[in-house]
Structure 1
């Protein structure tokens, strides 16, 4: 699997989504930024496929100046940097929700076709912020909720991905472009797939130029 490539240089955590009134944005007083590349979320919207980004701590007061790692970090919600994804208040309320809504949506049978789940920094396994145990715990909670659901346990696949890769982390350059849309790939990204249809203890290695 590959990350999508960025059409810009993103200086990690130096800028925040373009609207200072968005949840969590009050932690930052300057350097607001917008990006205009097509994202996977734009493609999902185009094909009318419902998606939601569930972020832990998202419903905290948007005017709060309490910031990461113990509170919602707006810089970890990438889709809010793109005006095309937040230009409708109705769409915005459906696509960006608090992490606690994930569990109520599972119980109610209202999960979207595609869900993104992001914990607080203290649950990210990131050095100095969190621990491996804290990160694995929140992942296990999501897996358990799906596994215990009669509605979703047999038809849902969960992908566990780290949120960063490439640079000095990968010694292999990505392919120059995709055969599907002729767009360049980003760096490779390892992942773990969990689901009823996934074979147990299976490891796959692919050539660098194969589409996974």
Structure 2
């Protein structure tokens, strides 16, 4: 069944209206800080406390960027990111206190474009939003898998502005990308069991 037009995947185009950002966080103080920061930068912001409110907001007004916490009541951030990526090309930036390497790699693998660890600097977050919007202009001629591999390789190198020591070599990235269908657990993605840094990884 075709997706409703409001949820159809789209390419980010030059905008004449303000960029729409949906903030999803169960802490009211963080929602307020993010909303104030982004509105000062000229963004149009919708704040949501959980996944249910988020999906209502998406149905009403497709976002350009989503700032997504992971620990949410009800549906968690990993699940929201995976579902949203399956039906929208909106930029997804995870903003979470869950900042170990496994959390970052799983978040990026299920569809997030970037991962920012709390506490964060508002200026850095705004810069990362700008970067995600730029990257949403797709490279012509690349296949979906090639685009996904290139994106994931870039993300693995740029987590927190440094090369992320994740224990997975570049030639394994394609297999992870092609096999990932859903998040099973923080250490199991797409049939690949993730081991702590320095140990081998193996298929289930």
TM-score normalised by L of structure 1 = 0.28
| Larger radius of gyration between Structure 1 and Structure 2 | 1
More helix by share: 2
